[in-house]
Amino acid sequence: MHVASDTNIAANLFDRKLDDGNRRFRHGLLTPVHVSWPKTLEEYPHIYDLFLAFSLERIHFIEKSRDLMVTWACVAYLTCRTMTVAAREVLMQTQKAEKVKQLIKYAKCLYRTQPQWLQDAYPLSKPIDSQADNALVFAHGGAIIGIPGGANQIRSYHPWGYLNDESSFQPDAGECYNEALSAVSGKIIFNSSAGPGWFADVRHDVIRTDGGR
């Protein structure tokens, strides 16, 4: 029952994001690069399957290409799980502080474009425009917090969920994974486009004895 509920809310968040993209495109608020903006969730059938998969395992490694909107889906799922459980905390990490702020912008966009009844049911601690660039905090004490790359960034937190985005381009992604195993009580998601290094090795069960060289 919880699986269906969480999946449907996450799908609703994602679908509302697509609706908002279409509205903004029609009103000239998106640049020409978005001319092929998707119209509905049906154009991304893998997204609903991904939401279901998230509910079945604790740890996920996802190889992606840029046009699949997988990062948006990861953020939608974790936003849903933070929003609907009191005092739940989620960390989102990527290479640099500015890129982390972009992940939090995704979460804020998803929150803004969901139905008003969901916003009323899960209010924020303060207006969304007054929140920090690297956080989305809910009235029930839960929060989505963005942190820059580095295994030492994780140690002071004990979150339920953790997203490491573009793991192939973080030199210490493996150390981040080890820290996440210790600190995170729930979901751990590593998500990246192609690139050499630890993430590619772990995805293909490669065990190195040469220090990764």
- Residue 31 pLDDT greater than 80, yes or no: no
Strand partners, 21: none
The whole-chain average pLDDT of the chain stands at: 83
H helix runs in the chain, sequence order: 2-26, 45-54, 70-83, 97-113, 116-121, 173-183, 198-203
Say if residue 104's pLDDT is above 70: yes
pLDDT for 203 equals 85
Give the separation between CA 149 and CA 169, rounded to whole angstroms.
Answer: 10
173-183 residue pLDDT tens? 999 999 999 99
pLDDT at residue 87 is higher than 90: yes
Residue 27, pLDDT > 50, answer: no
Structural domains in the chain, CATH included, are: 58-203 (3.40.50.300)
Residue 2 has pLDDT above 50, yes or no: no
Tens digit of each residue's pLDDT (9 = 90 or more) over 116-170: 988 999 999 999 999 999 999 999 999 999 999 999 999 999 999 999 999 999 9
Task: List pLDDT tens digits, range 64-76.
Answer: 887 788 998 899 8
Least confident of 19-28, 63-72, 89-98, 174-183: 19-28
Distance of alpha carbon 76 from alpha carbon 142, whole angstroms: 15
Residue 7 has pLDDT above 70, yes or no: no
Burial state string for 183-210 with b = 16 or more CB within 10 A and e = fewer than 16: bbeebbbbbbbeeebbbeebbeeeeeee
